[in-house]
Structure 1
Amino acid sequence: MSVLFWETKTLEQMTEQEWESLCDGCGLCCLVRFEDEETLEVIPTRVHCKLFDPDKCRCSDYANRKKYVPDCIKLKPGNIEELLWMPHSCAYRRLHEGKPLPMWHHLITGDRESVHRAGVSVRGQTINETELADPEDALDYAAWDLNEDRSDWDEFED
């Protein structure tokens, strides 16, 4: 059995290609979120960023996203800890926390569709933020269920 890079390297030791390959393509980090000012709880919605491709569950212009979405956050090994809104199933977060990749992750299955078959992605479940009259209208699409940890979902059958 070959040694897998995510099992032998720290996040800081990964090449850019290895780092980028960790993205599972669930789309959860591309959703509009709000933070409750009183409780500091993060409220996810089923409204996606204007650059998100809801069929591919990927950014439609990843290389230039900061030009069109200036507040888009670039994930780096050094900022994961402060991004408490990141999904519990996210490979970046899981590896940072010393947890293994979920069994449905494409680096385990060899298939980028496994995240969708497992029911973890938001494919076909969101609307584009450009369809809203006001950004605050995204709260009408609050999706508390997206806060649950989806990393060990039983639904996955390869």
Structure 2
Amino acid sequence: MHFRTLESRIVTLFLVLVLAVQLVGFFVIRNGIVDNAQATMREQLKLGENLFNRLLEQKKQRLTDSARVLAKDTGFRSAIGTDDRPTIESGLITLGERIDASLTLLVGLDRQIKATTVPRPAGSLENTILSLIDRAEQNDGAVGIAIFDKRIYQVLVVPVRA
């Protein structure tokens, strides 16, 4: 395309310059928006993480307090000593209802499940419980996270002392 007149050359030059300025402006604004959106998302995720951790900690404290009350209950400890299954299961059910626990169970000194409020837990939950028992023996209790039946559970282990 030949530009025969000065006027057409000037118009073409200005069109190219305007287009270049528009493209540069578009990319600068787009990058600014993307950076701002990413920063906002990171901030919101961090706030969500902090809230989630705070809720987990509150739930852990509530579970621990209630489980320790049951673990210190003389009737419950007596039922464990005499292997009174109905009383043990009743105590576990009552505890579960009081603290809105999905499942409660009693693990014996032989690390076998002695009583539970649900059918026998799957391998991953059982493995988590066994590893928490090791920590609970050293720290007078332990808390962890496990997956059971495609759901995530906060798991609490509290020793029952004789």
TM bucket (normalised to shorter chain) is under 0.3
Find the structure with the greater CA-based Rg: 2
Give the structure, 1 or 2, with the largest relative contact order (CA under 8 Å, sep 6 or more).
1
Normalising by structure 2, what TM-score?
0.23
The structure that is helix-richer by fraction is 2
Normalising by structure 1, what TM-score?
0.23
